[in-house]
Amino acid sequence: MTDPDVRAEIMTATYEALCEHGYTELTAQDIADKTDKSKSLLFYHYDSKEDLIVDFLDYLLEMVDERITEFQSADPVERLALFVDWYLYGADDGDLQSFHTAMLELRTQAPHNDRYREQLRRSDERLRVALERILEDGIATEAFVDHDPERTAALLIAAIDGARIRQLTLEREAYLDEVRAALVARIFDELLAESADFPVETESPSEIDSDSNAEATGDDP
With contact defined as beta carbons under 8 Å apart, do 192 and 144 qualify?
yes
The one-letter code for the residue type at 109 is Q
d(CA 7, CA 132): 32
Q: Which residues contact 154 (CB under 8 A, 6 or more apart)?
A: 128
**x-or-dash string of contact with its own copies, 21-60, rule CB under 8 A:** ---x------------------------------------
Cα–Cα distances in angstroms (integers) from residue 147 to residues 66, 124, 193, in the given order: 28, 21, 12
Determine the Cα–Cα distance for residues 167 and 174; give it in Å rounded to an integer: 7
Q: Is 95 in the site for its own copies (CB under 8 A)?
A: no
Cβ distance to its own copies smaller for residue 1 or 170: 170
Which phi and psi (to 5°) does residue 101 adopt?
-60, -45
- 160 near its own copies, rule: CB under 8 A: yes
By CB under 8 A, residue 108 contacts its own copies = yes
136 binds its own copies (CB under 8 A): no
Give the number of residues in contact with its own copies, rule: CB under 8 A. 46
d(CA 131, CA 81): 11
Under rule CB under 8 A, residue 191 binds its own copies: yes
Contact between 187 and its own copies by CB under 8 A: the answer reads yes
Q: Which residues of this protein are in contact with its own copies, per CB under 8 A?
A: 24, 97, 101, 104-105, 107-108, 110-111, 117, 120-121, 124, 147-148, 150-152, 154-155, 157-163, 165-166, 168-172, 174-175, 178-179, 181-183, 185-187, 190-191
